[in-house]
A and B are shown apart, each in its own frame.
Chain A
Amino acid sequence: MIPPFETFYEAHRDEVFRFLSRRLGRQSAEDAFQETFLRALRAYPRLEHGEHLRAWVFTIASRLVVDEARRARPAAELPELTAADDRLPAFEDLAPLTDELPPKERAAVVLRYGYDLDYDEIGAALGSTEAAARQAASAGVRRLRKEHR
């Protein structure tokens, strides 16, 4: 059962806004906040269940943070891609790979390696702790290694 959007919005708006403010600063955070919940609203009828909604909305918000960072940085100032950056897979690359993972592990892997979020932020997004997020991400990676061997 998917909760009414009002309930979902009331439950998560403040922490989503705090997260966006930390990453983007207050001004950009306001636009990103509105866009996050408009995107959530667009996708809402297609949700199959009401689990992990917190991680889901943080995934949307994280994606906007990444887009905003790209947009805000003028092309001329783009740093040379380092080897480490090059190895970061985009969300689109990770999504099909992680399809089969349990939801928590999947969210942790995508947020860590797709969005480069810190474990404390992932912990916040998943409603658990930094340690649990680290554990979920490494369990996910182990599982992926096993599956793709």
Chain B
Amino acid sequence: MIPASAFFALAVVLFVLGVVAFFVKKDLLTQFMAVEVMLNAGNLAFLALAKALGKAEGQVIVLFVITVAAAEAVIGLAIIVLVFRQRKTIQTDDLKDLRG
């Protein structure tokens, strides 16, 4: 029997990895994947706490989040594809038109 704290620790590790990846990588696609990692780290934290507290709500929320994440991933990827078509690049350092 693996204790719930182990799951929670994994979630924290995953989240930190996502944050680091987001700041280290410079192309939109990889950064997007880093965001997905952070999102799923959140899911895992929900599940760990649901297990620790013996409640079903955490699992239900995860199902919702996965559904929403599917939709979000579609839109995010579509935006990235469109940006690439327009600019022929997805390097975030090149995409700074909003500079004041």
- Is B truly associated with A? no
